[in-house]
């Protein structure tokens, strides 16, 4: 690992004590890393700060803040090969959870100091960088309802309350999904296209497990027709995800491809990595290996035993 890095720190992220957080981060990183600290302000957006650090020859960039800060910095690093350190201090920490990265400050700092990296996919949505997912319909409306003040006061509860409120006014819309080899037409209440997604993003979990380094995107269709059915569908998706199996409901569909074009009638709001960016149509394309992140080294676990499938197998257990 190159022992020189730029830390981009958002002091207004999350609900913790930013001064104490920064002190903890510096105390853990400075013994082994020549650290330049840059603080975000209303006039200094994290993505622009990351671009400036790149122009000044940064060998590594560390971002500390909420999902918006992390996504903006990741977008600036897309395709550069410069490793990104992620220290989550937000409301949902979806970015870290989706990429199986540490979500506490000490563990995140330890991963950065260790220096192990992994390469993950990125994507673009209407030309904008995408790390996690694009949501159409229900999810976009939910994010729009969960305003900044509510998130600051209530944390994750703000999203839950917004989701419950939105279920009551859920509407279906007509969708055309264009792939390289076919066009699909369907009625839906929500469409989610994911490059990476935490388990809590249940509307992205139709296939139960979005893989973030396979060069593909995962699209999930939720076609719940009424609020009551929507609740049942959400419960099924959550249950299936926790059990690691794909949903079998008739009103849930999913497919995988490198590129999607989605058009809706009428036009629907679109949320990209937690921020509403406009209305449909959208084009989303995977950028394989677009981002390098510092991540803990995970040892591959070898199975202890595999006997199934052997001819004439019989196993007698001793009492």
CATH of domain 4-115: 3.40.50.10330
Alpha carbon distances (Å) from 317 to 86, 158, 310: 48, 53, 17
Ranges 87-91, 151-155, 199-203: which has the least confidence: 151-155
* Residue 240, C-beta contacts closer than 8 angstroms, at least 6 positions apart: 205, 208, 246, 247, 248
Show the tokens assigned to 182: 């076919």
In the chain, where are the structural domains located?
Answer: 4-115, 129-289
pTM passes above 0.85? no
> CA 168, 14, 219 angle in degrees (round to 5)?
50
Helices (H), 115-265: 138-145, 148-154, 156-167, 227-243
Alpha carbon distances (Å) from 99 to 30, 65, 119, 123: 25, 16, 11, 14
pLDDT tens-digit profile of 167-222? 555 678 999 999 998 999 888 888 999 999 887 777 777 776 788 999 999 998 88
Q: What is the pLDDT of residue 301?
A: 52
Confidence of residue 10 (pLDDT cuts 50, 70, 90): very high
Query: What does the pLDDT average to over 49-58?
Result: 93
Output DSSP code: residue 22.
H
Confidence of residue 265 (pLDDT cuts 50, 70, 90): very high
> Cα separation of 243 and 233, whole Å?
15
| Number of Cβ within a 10 Å radius of residue 58 | 20
> Cα separation of 131 and 98, whole Å?
10
Three-state SS at 20: helix
CATH of domain 129-289: 2.60.200.40
Half-sphere exposure of 140 (CA within 13 A, CB side): 22
Show the tokens assigned to 97: 């959870």
Before 281, cis peptide (omega within 30)?
yes
Q: From its phi and psi, is residue 166 left (phi > 0), alpha (psi between -120 and 50) or beta? A: alpha
């Amino acid at each position: 690992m190159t022992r020189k890095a730029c830390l981009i720190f958002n002091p207004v992220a999350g609900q913790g004590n930013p001064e104490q957080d920064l002190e903890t981060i510096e105390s853990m990183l400075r013994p082994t890393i020549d650290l330049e600290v840059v603080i975000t302000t209303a006039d200094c957006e994290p993505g622009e700060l990351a671009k400036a650090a790149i122009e000044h020859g940064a060998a590594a960039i560390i971002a500390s803040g909420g999902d918006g800060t992390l996504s903006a910095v990741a977008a600036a690093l897309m395709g550069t090969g410069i490793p990104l350190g992620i220290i989550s201090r937000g409301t949902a920490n979806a970015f870290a959870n989706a990429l199986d990265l540490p979500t506490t400050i000490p563990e995140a700092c330890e991963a950065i100091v260790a220096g192990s990296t992994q390469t993950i996919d990125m994507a673009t949505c209407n030309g904008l960088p995408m790390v996690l997912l694009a949501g159409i319909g229900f999810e976009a409306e939910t994010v729009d309802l969960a305003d900044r003040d509510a998130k600051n006061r209530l944390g994750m509860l703000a999203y839950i309350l917004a989701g419950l409120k939105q279920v009551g006014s859920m509407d279906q819309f007509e969708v055309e999904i264009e792939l390289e080899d076919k066009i699909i037409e369907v009625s839906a209440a929500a469409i989610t296209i994911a490059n990476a997604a935490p388990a809590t993003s249940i509307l992205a979990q139709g296939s139960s497990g979005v893989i973030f380094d396979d060069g593909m995107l995962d699209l999930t269709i939720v076609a719940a027709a009424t609020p009551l059915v929507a609740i049942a569908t959400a419960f099924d998706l959550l249950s299936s995800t926790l059990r690691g199996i794909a949903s079998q409901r008739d009103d849930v569909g999913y497919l995988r491809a490198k590129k999607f074009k989605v058009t809706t009638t009428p036009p629907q709001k679109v949320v990209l990595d937690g921020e509403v960016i406009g209305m449909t149509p959208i084009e989303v394309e995977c950028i394989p290996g677009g981002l390098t992140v510092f991540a803990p080294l995970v040892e591959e676990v070898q199975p202890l035993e595999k006997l199934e499938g052997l001819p004439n197998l019989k196993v007698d257990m001793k009492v």
